[in-house]
A = this chain, B = another copy of it.
């Protein structure tokens, strides 16, 4: 597993812990703004892990695609993903 994937994996595990904490906060009837901030913290980590996955995708898979002459297809795939990430 390359370095970026390792980091993304570790960050996802922390994000999972934060969602578990948010679930507990709702069950304990905690204040809305605090719950929401907790959810936002996990969203922030998911974005980080997304960017790491994307970085290693570009460094490895996109690089490979230029060798194999199927880069246009791969770039379209990335742009389609980014469209979802960024929203409309």
Contacts and interface: CB of A to CB of B under 8 A. Distances in A.
Interface string A58-69: 110111001000
Number of copies: 4
Given A12-B23, A27-B9, A83-B51, A77 B33 contact: yes
A33 B79 CA distance: 11
Determine the main DSSP class of A at the interface with B. helix
B27 A55 contact: no
Given A40-B81, A40-B85, 9 more contacts: A12-B19, A13-B23, A15-B19, A39-B46, A39-B53, A47-B88, A58-B78, A63-B71, A66-B66
Interface residues of A, number: 56
